[in-house]
Chains A and B, each alone.
Chain A
């Protein structure tokens, strides 16, 4: 059983389209995250949700809207895709924030290519 799974693994689309990436974790964690890894391999946090509530929003454009229907799922919807959105997007989960003993568990990533 994959602990953190995200779909699709690859996503190729045209500029201006709207697309979604889904993420699910079966670890019973309270907190989920979205990270973006650009072409230079720099990993940057985008959002964090704790028990379906947004707790971190790192100055991400409004075109990106996370949705957490329950604490096991955190989906990422992107409107009006731009070339600069091309990157690998990673979903992750952990126990409640503030517990530094806890670890981040990452999905295998979604490679988004905007043409």
Chain B
């Protein structure tokens, strides 16, 4: 299973943009990049995913490097409710795929 590496923690001021990095140097051509986040005392929730092109949705944007060995989740204006652990996951469609969660990045948002 391909591995992802994320910083353990990051801090951001409220209403400022946040860039959460993820390294996945062993990514294969068919691996999709997914992001989930886990709010305190809740289960993880889907944020965004992509393959090669940058992606935007109402929650965030995903910027994928040209060589796909890294990606960045962008929260355009952090709010206190965005304080969570953010997981970057690679999903490979080959046989029985499974979501492998790493240790994630704990984002702290300062008021």
Q: Is the CB of A100 within 8 A of B91?
A: yes
The count of A-to-B residue pairs whose CB atoms sit within 8 angstroms is 52
Considering only CB atoms and an 8 Å cut-off, how many residues of chain B contact the other chain?
Answer: 21
Residues of A within 8 A of B41 (CB): 108-109
Complex: A105 Cα to B42 Cα, angstroms:
11
| B46 in complex: contacting residue of A35, A103, A108, A109, CB < 8 Å | A103
A46 CB, min distance to chain B CBs, angstroms: 11
User: Which residue of B has the minimal Cβ distance to A111?
Assistant: B41
| B103 in complex: contacting residue of A41, A92, A105, A109, CB < 8 Å | A41
Q: Is the CB of B42 within 8 A of A100?
A: no
Residues of B within 8 A of A41 (CB): 85, 103-104
Chain A residues close to B by CB (< 8 Å): 4, 35, 40-45, 48, 55-56, 90, 92, 97-98, 100-101, 103-109
Chain B residues close to A by CB (< 8 Å): 32, 36, 41-46, 49, 85, 87, 91, 93, 96-101, 103-104
* Interface contacts beyond A105-B46, A106-B42, A109-B43: sample of 17 additional A-B pairs, CB < 8 Å, sorted by A: A40-B103, A41-B85, A41-B103, A41-B104, A44-B101, A45-B99, A55-B96, A90-B44, A97-B96, A97-B97, A97-B98, A100-B32, A100-B49, A100-B93, A100-B97, A101-B49, A104-B36
